[in-house]
Amino acid sequence: MSEAVDHGITVTEIAALDKPVDVSPETTAAFVGRALRGPLNTPVLVTNFGEFRRRFGGTWQQSSLGPAVQQFFAHGGKRLYVVRVANSARGAMICLPADGSALVLRAVEPGSTESIRAAIDHDRIEPDDDELFNLTLQRVNPTSQLIEDQEYFDKVSWREDAERFVGDVLLASTLARVEPPYPRRRPEPTISGGARRESIYVGHVQAGTDGKMLSDYDLVGSRHARTGLFALEQVEQVDIIYMPPPGKGVDAGPAAVLAAELYCRERRAVLVVDPRVEWTTAEEAIAGVRHLGYASPNMVGYFPRVVEGRGPDAVAQPAGGAIAGLLCKLDRTCGPWQDLDQPGMGLQRQFQPVCEVDEDSRALCRAGLNVIAAGRAGRARVTGSVTMGRGSEGGRRFASLPVRRFCLQLVNVIERATKWAVLAPADPDVATKVRRQVVDYLARLDELGALAESGFIVECDVNRQAQEVSLLLVFHPTGCDEPVSLTLHLTTAGCRVGSAAFVPAIDRSA
């Protein structure tokens, strides 16, 4: 997929015929939250904290998104989509004089630190032309005053009925839009009063605002409008989703968490869930999970929160960003079928659990909560490797986090690798070629230690009239008590996954 996401249009690249299936794809995470600046409801891929800081403004006391992103990259994450959401935020406003009226521009990206400026000139326009003008827009870094982005629009018109009406032309701008009332004359050049009469830039007359604290509705957003969590519809694949708390001392509401879990189920992703602020003991956490009804194998919870340092000003903070980063690091170095509790997978030394729960760790794991515990060399570790799937349908098998994440990755990878078969021209060997792809993939996973038994089953059927490819998979993941059987139905609309009721014995595998 193209890394650029363009106003709701998603470009999907279909793997080439017979291309080997990637056994170690880079895990991609997505965070949804509030930021100082940046595009709203648009997934932006960042690969380090410096990119996040340049695009979204870094850390901010009014939001936990920045610290979560910092944790993610510090703990081994490599690919992160950030979706900025806001509640009643407003962009800065610029007014450019136009002979008794004005051209009013409003910044596309709201926020108090979004600094844009504009300049008007009449260069290369006929002297007797009172309609056309040139407009330059710039985004300036509020700290360094360096130009971060620039757009130039030549020979635009102030007339609403003109082909190049400035209001229509700026619909393609990522910096500003035209607001009514529209100018009644051509905007005047912005020039200095000195002898050289150089063009100068006009800044905002009204600063942008950051808006209010996020609500559950802001975080979840609208599927139709592709806002909030549903902005991720513009991204082909996401493996881990996390919604940092919308503010200090405030949790994402249960409605937002449950909506996010449903979305993760659709996308075959896992949702990292923070312990709530009021959970200060293991007993409170266990009771809280039961009260909230969290029981999904697509949810990854933990307890307790962490503190950074041990000084008097140390405050408990969530570690969801760190856990997301560790999961990405685990997949890259060991594979998703491994536990997090192993050498090299600890938290950074400055993060320590806010309380000790060693005696209650088994009870927490039975409730579906992983435990952040003190480890060797002063590095806390994540123990348990469980999902919140206990008590749900099929929860016993997918209560294991490695088993659940391995199965999700396996299905996602196979879907992407075999999409070509759905649209392939009539070919009697399509089923054979798909089966060979998947068999080779499972064989290489077995060599890496992902399967408890070397035997597995792959059966493929192609319904050319319905444009559907069906796959039956039977395999035994490492750490699972019994084999897993899945049916994949690939169509042009996507992939539907189910469990097979009757399957051949695994000792018949190829």
The ranges assigned to domains in the chain are 28-81+215-401, 93-179, 418-508
User: Which run of H or of E encompasses 177?
Assistant: strand 176-179
pTM of the model: 0.90
Tokens of 66: 């920045």
> Helices (H), strands (E): how many in the chain?
12, 20
Q: What is the mean pLDDT of the chain?
A: 90
What whole-number distance in Å separates Cα of residue 354 and Cα of residue 341?
A: 19
Nearest to 120 by CA among 158, 92, 85, 147: 158
Mean pLDDT lowest for which of 17-26, 273-282, 465-474? 17-26
What whole-number distance in Å separates Cα of residue 162 and Cα of residue 241?
A: 46
109 Cβ neighbours under 8 A, 6+ residues apart: 37, 38, 39, 40, 91, 175
pLDDT at 392: 55
- Domain 28-81+215-401 classification at class level: alpha beta
Neighbours of 418 (CB within 10 A): 28
What whole-number distance in Å separates Cα of residue 85 and Cα of residue 74?
A: 24
378 or 430, which is more confident: 430
pLDDT at 500: 63
What whole-number distance in Å separates Cα of residue 111 and Cα of residue 92?
A: 7
pLDDT at 13: 53
- Domain 418-508 classification at class level: alpha beta
Q: What's the average model confidence in pLDDT over 2-31?
A: 66
Q: What percent of the chain has pLDDT over 70?
A: 91
The sheet carrying 484-491 orders its strands as: 457-463, 468-475, 484-491, 494-499
> What 3-state DSSP class applies to 211?
coil
Q: Which residue has the tokens 């200095």?
A: 192
Tell me: pLDDT of 10 over 70: no
Q: Which residue has the tokens 């599927």?
A: 223
At CA 107, angle to CA 213 and CA 243, rounded to 5?
Answer: 30
What whole-number distance in Å separates Cα of residue 400 and Cα of residue 204?
A: 54
The sheet carrying 101-107 orders its strands as: 93-98, 101-107, 176-179
Nearest to 175 by CA among 105, 121, 231, 120: 105
| Bond from prior residue into 304 cis (ω within 30 degrees of 0) | yes
